[in-house]
Amino acid sequence: MNQNGVVHAVCSLDCPDQCGLLLHKQDGRIVKVEGDPDHPVTKGNICNKVRNMTHRIYDEKRLTHPMKRVGAKGEGKFAQISWEEAIETVTSKWKELIKTDGPESILPYSFYGNMGRLAAEGMDRRFFHRLGASQLIRSICSIAGTVGYKYTMGGAFGIDPEDTIHSKLIILWGINAASTNKQQVVLAQKARKQNGAKIVMIDVQKNQTGRLADWFIPILPGTDAALALGIMHILFDENLVDEYFLKQYTVGHEELREHVKQYTPESVSNITGVSVEDIYKLARMYGNTAPSYIRIGNGPQHHDNGGMFVRTVACLPALTGQWLEKGGGAIKSNSGYLAINERNLQRPDLLENKKTRAINMNQLGDALLHSDPPVKSLYVYTSNPAVVAPSGNKVREGLEREDLFLVVHDLFLTETAKYADIVLPSTSSFENTDLYTSYWHQFLQIQQPAIEPIGESKSNVEVFKMLAKGMGFTDSAFEDSEAEMIAQALDNPGNPYLEGIHYEDLAEKQYIKANIKPLFADKLPTPSGKIELYSQRMKADGHPPLPTYIPLVDDGDYPFLFVPAPNHNFLNSTFSNNEKHISLEKEPRLHINQKDAHAAGIEDGDMVCIWNHRGECKIKAAVGENVLPGVLVTQGLWADLEGTQHLVNSLTPDRIADMGGGATFFSARVDVEKL
Ligand SMILES: Nc1nc2c(c(=O)[nH]1)N[C@H]1C(S)=C(S)[C@@H](COP(=O)(O)OP(=O)(O)OC[C@H]3O[C@@H](n4cnc5c(=O)[nH]c(N)nc54)[C@H](O)[C@@H]3O)O[C@H]1N2
Ligand SMILES: Nc1nc2c(c(=O)[nH]1)N[C@H]1C(S)=C(S)[C@@H](COP(=O)(O)OP(=O)(O)OC[C@H]3O[C@@H](n4cnc5c(=O)[nH]c(N)nc54)[C@H](O)[C@@H]3O)O[C@H]1N2
Ligand code: SF4
Ligand SMILES: [Mo]
């Protein structure tokens, strides 16, 4: 490894952009992180979060050695131990638990704090399959929308984002792209400059993205499907649909035409809070502009009806035949193009047909407090559930359980790690070898170790190999090197887009685009092979077969809908413990409409308490016009810093969305008062 010079890297964060990076090294340390100007999509642009990444990599708070708890649960008192002692403690406890309670008493909990395919779903999956542990349904992020989109389109396939520079109308629907998909904004602005493209944003708050849009449309939370149906109503009514495309490429357009008659602009306006005039304006703009592109965000699918929202909005481009235009169509997620061989990587065969139970990660609190047989040990890695999981008070109560053996593997002593019995130090992604597959652009990328591990930290792959050895597992699956695992993952005959792409090529070239062909060159992977405006499969699964507006579940008699969204300078809870990133973000704020603030006697800058039956949260009010009356919005998953009560997930429901077991973070009702 060279001690000086510039090395290639990939951003490992859970962000669709997956930027190419250059790391500048001096005496073995990274001194500067910048965008790789040669990356075909991201072209040297990166966000401020990662430009400041050295503050995180070399933060003095980084964990450098394994530790065991010496204080009370959650007190955060630990003593240094060796890796040998750590692995021995964990595996002997687990062996004992397997004897007394069975392997299902052990539950893994992880998400995509590192998007590397090996870090997130490699040796860990092999290990827990072999162990026969309870399985985790990883549903916290985007599953409801993924399932909804699949009903319409057959899989996670949208357009090539590079083509969006040709779009003439770009609708950012429930996506705070300026913060969460920066590269899409770069392309949208290019489209605006080159072809006078209009950027429209539909959101419940006027955030950074709303401010750069040509037209910001505020909408009431959880009502977007109604707006999409109102647009369809006008498109059919005014003959703005593409009859040829509908006949050739869709099923159910006649049923849909009849069905949307009920969604009159007047009724839709009542539901959504969007004026009749604006509904007409938007529908006519959409019906008369080609190519038009909808970037479907994650926000509206974090509601009770989120799956149906995505299913519905995904029908729109078909009505006007946009999919055949360069730069026309939609993206929800493009992960289908880069689908790797999960069987090879995760080895579900190691489960040997054991019927182990599956636990939805959105209901971690219940799983820890009430599951039968109980969860006796939780192993958390690449995630921070004490802050990010819904109904957080239940989660933290579960983590406090005296008889829960909790192991946490992370780079920092997170809120979750504070409750641990054993804490293990993790490398950062720049210290490992891993494969990266974006869920927005269509490039595969590779990371090779750019610096030596900090302290005694180890990667997820290494730790699970050690745990396998400690458990006495002798399967060859636990011997594979990172390079071998990447080769196995890429060997996916089920995905023609990856054909001919090998580890060696990636190691040499750094990034390779999948072999993309036009989406409609073949049949779509839906049952009919066409876009399913009417879906027999949905009917079989107990959903209305046609796109439908379904109101949010009653969450109690509180006057406000509460939307605790992400912020600009953190990534979920990552960076929320870094001084640099906190100083950029300043402080958490509760956005409240001035009418509501006035009625409640709240002034800008006042400390307020928001509460419901799940908990409460104290925060400073930001009074203005950024949100509609009746809506409260916060930004960011702030760490539980000393003396603060900023944990917004204390208030969020752990109800399950309409599809895929998805999360409903944005469907809580709350009340607010001045402190
Ligand atoms: N800076 C930054 N970038 C991130 C993240 C981060 O935390 N910070 N998180 C990453 C992850 S894991 C993900 S999943 C993505 C998420 O990124 P996005 O896809 O942008 O999703 P969110 O930011 O959750 O929500 C987007 C917007 O939806 C709005 N919204 C909420 N409810 C509704 C509704 O009912 N209707 C409409 N129209 N809008 C609604 C919110 O106000 C918010 O502005 O971003 C990734 N990138
Ligand atoms: N209120 C509210 N809650 C939300 C959301 C919201 O919009 N609002 N968004 C939800 C969404 S979309 C998501 S995806 C989840 C995300 O929730 P999480 O997946 O928990 O994401 P992070 O908070 O970023 O935590 C990731 C952790 O992994 C650690 N880590 C990073 N790399 C590695 C590694 O290689 N190995 C190990 N062992 N650890 C590593 C980091 O230090 C960090 O502590 O949050 C959800 N929670
Ligand atoms: S967080 Fe997103 S925008 Fe920032 S560098 Fe990483 S991939 Fe790029
Ligand atoms: Mo996410």
pLDDT in tens, 268-326: 999 999 999 999 999 999 999 999 999 999 999 999 999 999 999 999 999 999 999 99
Mutation test residue for ligand 2: of 123, 176, 302, 383, the one with most atoms within 8 Å of CB: 383
Mutate to test the pocket of ligand 1, among 298, 308, 570 (most ligand atoms within 8 A of CB): 298
pTM above 0.95, yes or no: yes
The verdict on the CB of residue 203 being under 6 Å from ligand 1 is yes
Instruction: Write down the pLDDT at residue 643.
Output: 62
Write down the pLDDT at residue 641: 66
What pLDDT, on the 0 to 100 scale, is given for residue 352?
83
Closest ligand (CA of 185) = 3
- The answer to whether the CB of 576 is under 6 A from ligand 2 is no
Calculate how far, in angstroms, residue 577's C-alpha sits from the geometric centre of ligand 3. Answer: 18
Give me ligand 4 centre to Cα 673, in Å.
30
pLDDT digits (tens, 9 = 90+) for 162-214: 999 999 999 999 999 999 999 999 999 999 999 999 999 999 999 999 999 99
548: CA distance to ligand 3 center in Å?
Answer: 35
Q: Determine the residue of 13, 34, 53 to mutate for testing ligand 3's pocket, defined as the one with the most ligand atoms within 8 A of the Cβ atom.
A: 13
Q: Are 139 and 360 in contact (CB under 8 A)?
A: yes
Which residue's alpha carbon is nearest to atom 4 within ligand 2?
A: 388
Q: Is 184's C-beta closer than 6 angstroms to any atom of ligand 1?
A: no
Q: Give the rounded distance of the alpha carbon of 600 from its chain centre.
A: 34
- Dig out the tokens for 271 from the structure: 């539901």
The model's pLDDT over 362-421, given as tens digits with 9 standing for 90+, comes to: 999 999 999 999 999 999 999 999 999 999 999 999 999 999 999 999 999 999 999 999
Distance (Å, rounded) from C-alpha 241 to C-alpha 235? 6
For ligand 3, what atom is nearest to the CA of residue 51? 5
Q: Which residues, 6 or more positions from 181, have their beta carbon under 8 angstroms from its beta carbon?
A: 15, 16, 17, 175, 295, 440
Q: For ligand 2, say whether the CB of 414 is within 6 Å of any of its atoms.
A: yes
pLDDT at 470 over 90: yes
Residue 74 contacts residue 419 (beta carbons within 8 Å): yes
Mutational test site, ligand 1, from 112, 149, 203, 590, max ligand atoms within 8 Å of CB: 203
pLDDT at 147: 98
Q: How confident is the model at residue 642 (pLDDT cuts 50, 70, 90)?
A: low
Residue nearest (by alpha carbon) to ligand 1 atom 6: 571
Half-sphere CA count of 136, side-chain side, radius 13 A: 25
